């Protein structure tokens, strides 16, 4: 089975995340994509919403797509959510899966600064999805080029920062996030 793994803070998950995952699914022939919200993101400030709220929003956003699945693998683990540790856990549970870590082209150049980058590349391939408006980066030096796939496709220029700002200012976020996510944010009073 060919599996995509899309991690992130997802604070909140938005339509741009879903479109990027769909681009990767189509381009790489993935059978399933697991969306993995970080419990404690090591490279970002503390999330505005709790890990359980972010997981619930991921579950709501992915529910309508038969190949998209929410995963709580990082939320169940204490401490920082290191990708290498998550991949090792998933690899030991499913040693024969063909795994692709899906990252944005904005994040990919930083992958050498992540904890145990060589271990990451030994456990999976990396699928780099281009963000709208970004020029394609040349292959990042010192990375195994045969373990990297570049994914093209229609993307959406949406940011979680902008969504949180819109909520704080009382503006609509409909059509930037899945309908269930917009309702969840409103009902839970998130990002106010």
CB neighbours of residue 117 within 10 Å = 17
pLDDT per residue over 103-140, tens digit each?
998 888 889 899 999 999 999 999 999 876 665 555 56
Helix (H, G, I), strand (E, B) or coil at 14: coil
Q: Tell if the pTM clears 0.85, that is, is over it.
A: yes
Q: Residue 144 phi/psi, 5° resolution?
A: -70, 100
The conformation of residue 145, written as its DSSP 8-state character, comes to: G
Domains and their CATH numbers in the chain: 2-156 (3.40.50.620)
Q: How far apart are CA 36 and CA 22, in angstroms?
A: 15
pLDDT per residue over 16-67, tens digit each?
999 999 999 999 999 999 999 999 888 777 899 999 999 999 999 999 999 9
- What pairs with residue 35 in β-bridges? 6, 70
């Amino acid at each position: 089975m060919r599996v995509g793994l899309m991690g992130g803070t997802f604070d909140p998950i938005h339509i741009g995340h879903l479109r990027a995952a769909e681009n990767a699914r189509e381009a790489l022939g993935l059978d399933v994509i697991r969306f993995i919200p970080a419990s404690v993101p090591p490279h970002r400030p503390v999330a505005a919403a709790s890990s359980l709220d972010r997981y619930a929003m991921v579950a709501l956003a992915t529910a309508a797509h038969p190949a998209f699945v929410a995963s709580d693998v990082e939320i169940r683990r204490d401490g920082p959510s290191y990708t290498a540790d998550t991949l090792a856990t998933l690899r030991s549970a499913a040693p024969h899966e063909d795994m692709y870590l899906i990252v944005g082209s904005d994040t990919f150049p930083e992958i050498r600064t992540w904890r145990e980058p060589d271990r990451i590349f030994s456990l999976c391939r990396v699928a780099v999805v281009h963000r709208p408006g970004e020029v394609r980066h040349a292959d990042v030096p010192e990375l195994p080029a045969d373990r990297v796939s570049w994914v093209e496709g229609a993307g959406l220029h949406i940011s979680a920062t902008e969504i949180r700002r819109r909520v704080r200012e009382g503006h609509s976020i409909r059509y930037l996030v899945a309908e269930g996510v917009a309702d969840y944010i409103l009902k839970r009073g998130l990002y106010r």
